Structure 1
Amino acid sequence: MKTRSTRAIPCAAVLTVGGLLLTACGSSGDGGSGQAGPASFEGRGPISYVAAKDTTGTIQPMIDRWNKQHPDEKVTFIQLPTDADAQRQQMIQNAETKSDAYTVLSLDVVWTSEFAAHQWIDRLPEKQFPLGKMLKPVVETAKYRDGLYAVPHSSDGGLLYYRSDLLKKAGVKVPPKTWAEMKDACAKVQKLPEGKGVSCYAGQFQKYEGLTVNFSEAVHSAGGVVTGPDGKPNVDTPEAKKGLDFLVGSLKDGTIPKKAVTYLEEDGRQAFQNGKLVFLRNWPYVYSHAQKSDIKGKFAVAPLPGLNGPGSSSLGGHNLAISSFAKNKATALDFIKFMSSEQSTETFLKEASLAPPYASLYDDRELIDQYPYLPVLKESILRAVPRPRVVPYGDVTASIQREAYAALTGSKSSAEALKALQADLQKSVAR
């Protein structure tokens, strides 16, 4: 999700994916009630793959393998900024000019509805992808009005990283399930000599997409919603206020360090690895980084805590779509099959800690032995609540970031921020 700034590069052997059998794809007559019927996927030749800057070093080698197997259908990797908002803006600019420069797009899961509704991406032939083998919440992010407009490439769920060594020394036997338990555990750790100068908790609180994620998680973890099942905003509620109050109050009482209002994913990861945090909310990619740091063997992961019990993660990840204005769409469709296959996504799991869309990989004993966080991650994804799946997502997330940040920095109270946010969201969704 996407909101991540960087990814990890675990040291693992690369799986052989050269044996994938890719078939030529013409137009499909799959039914559905989407914006339009599936496009005619014709034309073979060079294409481009457009995604965030690859800080893991895993994307280009995978593309190189494709290029070696398909010398007449080579893929050029176009890397966009790591910031999700900037990625989205550049993709929109390409679509608005109807440029064929972008072919396969790596979309944050919450962009599918917006891009499909504007007909910037093609509806895909659903029967040609093994969606039944994928986690259902992940597949749903790739659909718009019952039509498939993208294919899951990776998923994501928020995890609570914690210093297991410090909790053990402080006599805390199990990771916290509630915010109150987390604060209590921190208080015990901070009484230890090793806990001197260590802050309690951080997430991503800078004014960018990561704040939308963290705000939404706090609201959902307190029993509230940002938008209801009908898509209508309902954020000016006592439950939502309890969620935002947790963040605001934690900044005031020092549970969250004040500098965390500047944190993106990488800032929090580095603080945790450098021994400055007891708890960190972040994505799975952090695990591989931490395993290669000074805290190797001294940390573990757990589900996010909530107000009265385990919390709810925002659902992250990326889906692969085909630009409506691209050329060589038969090649593009085959390339999506290659990148989203079970073999390829297992490689990305092993090399970059990317959460795979395939259910079976979370239950593989050998993988669990190597990546102990997989059962927790699966639970996080299955319990996750999507960010608002609305067409004007850009306006919605901008409003959330603006009002949540105002509350976190003290320029508005939680009540004032939520009231303003409710009004803004109602205007955006009604357009």
Structure 2
Amino acid sequence: MPRLAAASLAGTAIEFYDFFVYGTAAALILGRLFFPTFSPLAGTLAAFGTFGVGFVARPLGSVLFGHLGDRRGRRPVLVLSLLLTGASTVAVGCVPSYGSIGVAAPVLLLLLRFLQGLGLGGEWGGAVLLTAEHAPPGRRALWSSFPQVGPAIGFVLANGVMLALSATLSDAEFARWGWRVPFWAAGALALGGLWLRSSLAESPRFLEIDDHARVPFVEVVRHHGRLVLLTAGALAAGYAIFYAVTTWSLAYATERLGVSRTVMLTCVMAAVVVKAALTPFMALLGDRYGRRPMCLTGCAACGLWMLPMVALLATGQPLLMFLGILGALVSFITMFAVIAAYLPELYEARVRCTGAAVGYNLGGVLGGALTPIVATALAEHSGRVPWSVGVYLTGVALLSLVCFALLPETRPVPVPVVEPVTG
């Protein structure tokens, strides 16, 4: 289990690095390079629009790679999704700006972001299922939480590279070539991930399946449609809050408040590191007290913290901004630490790769694709404190809370040990 968990963690870290480095670039630089004829606000919104395309592609990737995972195994999904995401990320770093090739530049950006989303849509389901289906039932949430640490590591890597470049390069150098370096680095990371995953064993639960679904997505829609919609609605709050604090807040703080890129990236990265460290602990609580109680608690905490969070962000003070972001991410990980065990347990094994991944990534469309765009537009028409953003995020959290309340508990019940009767 340690070796398998480490390989799954490394793979998700690499793939989410690819996904997050685009979000950071969209917040900091892509608007003026690829949409220079727009106003600064419209350029940021357009860049966030291309960011959102990746989320729209993720459910399609779940269907495509979920079919492969339910028909041929979880392991092939891990290899092919990593190849697709890595190659498209490197290609983003090679796209000329609008000034060089005109409208073809944003079109290429849009296409490559779509391919990134396709790959990531398959990655999460394969990595989580391979870990969850190997794990012992009593510690399934703990072992399955390691792939969930991967996104935090990917985020820190992506933003760390951006932070180093923005701190050492002039604005002109960063705009000319510096922002491309993190995208090119994705190629080396992808090769390392492929090496780590080359010797993983197939899931034993998959090998036990005798009646593989012929078209898994059709079966999921026909027999588990309500479950998919409920899980998507339940996860929307986590996505909305995570991308509000890691993507929208970067643009808001640097453009509206005049906070430097270096300071804001440092605040967000420090909070993400704490979130990553807490993930296994929250997962252990999920093994002890159940998946659903942890999700309800985290979702309620998210709803309560959103208004204080935007008030703290609006101060422009690094320590207060850090505390606002940290509170949001701790609430977020209280529910998302157990999701990697919870979603697979909701579906039968023969359609699990498709069902769990589609529900997970549809939640990303509802919560992650629109949030940076909606929050940017709302903040533009707010005063110094963007209360409307806090109200929007609170509303998403309440919607998710209702969806979690309608889902069943799945934590395995320990089988009682019967002592033999002695005469």
- Please classify the TM superposition score into its range, dividing by the shorter chain length: under 0.3
Name the structure with the higher helix share. Answer: 2
Q: TM-score, normalised by structure 2?
A: 0.23
Q: TM-score, normalised by structure 1?
A: 0.22
